Amino acid sequence: MDIKLMHISKKFKSVGSKFIKSLDMINIDINYGNYLSFVGPSGSGKSTLLNIITSNIKPTSGEIFWGKYRLSATSQKDIAYIRRTKFGIIFQDNQFMNDLSVEDNVLLPLVINGSPVGKKYKYYNSLMESLIIDGLKKRFPFELSGGEKKKVSIARSLINNPEILVADEPTANLDEASALEVFNIFSNLNKLGLTIVIATHDERFGRYCKETYFLVEGKIDSFKANS
C-alpha cells in the first residue's frame, strides 16, 4: 500500500484562543517497499507527522491517501480496520499493557484483529526467536530493560504481518549496541519488502534509510536520498 500526504498542516490549540503550528504544508509520497526517516530536533513535528500517517490524529488541513482510500472520505470503522491489518506501529514509549505478559502483549494485535490466536503460535515463536527474545515470553513489561522493551515492541508490530512499519524514535534511550541492533533489524525487514517509516532525532539512521527528510519547525527543510 502506498501512502500519499498532500498539503498536510496541523495546528494544536494552545492557551486561550492561540494555536501552535506543528506541521506546515507537508507533501510526501511513501511508496511500497521504501525505507524513510523523518529527522529533526524535538518539537519539529516528527511524531505528529507519524500520528497523521497512521491516522491517530487528523490533520487541520490537507489530504491523506492510504492506497485508494482518501481518509477524509473513509469511515472510522474502515480506518481502524486498515490500521490494524496494514500497519505495525512502534510507539516512542513502547506502551504495553502492564498486566499482560510479554507473550500476551505481542499477541495483542491478533486479538484485536480477530485472528485465531492459537493458529498463529508457530509464527509467533519464530518471530520471538528471530529477534532473540524468546526467553522473555513469560516476563511482564516492568521486568524488561529498555532494549528488551524495544524488541518486544518490534515483535508486537510485526505479529500481524503488516505492510508498513511505523516507528517513533526507535532508538530513544537505547545504548549504542541496542541501537545498532534495531538498525539492523529494520534494514533486514526492509530487504524482505516491508515499508518502513521512522521519526528520529538520531541522524545515524540516515545511513540506513533510502530517503531522509529533515524537518525544522514543521516544514521539510531538506531531503536526502541514499543510493
Q: Which residues bind another protein (CB under 8 A)?
A: 54, 56-58, 76-77, 80-81, 83-85, 87, 89, 91, 95-97, 99-101, 104, 108-117, 140
Write down the least CB distance from residue 54 to another protein, Å: 8
Write down the least CB distance from residue 138 to another protein, Å: 10
The CA dihedral of 38, 44, 45, 46, to the nearest 10 degrees, is 20
- Name residue 196's beta-bridge partners: 35, 165
- The residues, ordered by sequence, that sit 6+ positions from 81 with a Cβ below 8 Å of its Cβ are none
The CA dihedral of 180, 142, 152, 147, to the nearest 10 degrees, is 0
Q: Which is nearer to another protein, 127 or 220 (CB)?
A: 127
Q: Which is nearer to another protein, 76 or 227 (CB)?
A: 76
Inter-CA distances, 75 with 31, 50, 85, Å:
23, 20, 16
To 5 degrees, how large is the angle CA 180–CA 227–CA 210?
50
Write down the least CB distance from residue 45 to another protein, Å: 15
| Residue whose C-alpha cell reads 534495531 in the numeric block | 182
Q: Which is nearer to another protein, 84 or 150 (CB)?
A: 84
DSSP 42: T
Write down the least CB distance from residue 59 to another protein, Å: 12
Contact 63, 6 (CB under 8 A): yes
| Residue whose C-alpha cell reads 541492533 in the numeric block | 181
For 57, the grid coordinates are 490524529
Write down the least CB distance from residue 225 to another protein, Å: 31
Write down the least CB distance from residue 158 to another protein, Å: 13
Q: Which is nearer to another protein, 108 or 172 (CB)?
A: 108
For 19, the grid coordinates are 494555536
Q: Which is nearer to another protein, 116 or 193 (CB)?
A: 116
Q: Which is nearer to another protein, 78 or 129 (CB)?
A: 78
Other residues' Cβ atoms within 10 Å of the Cβ of residue 18: 9
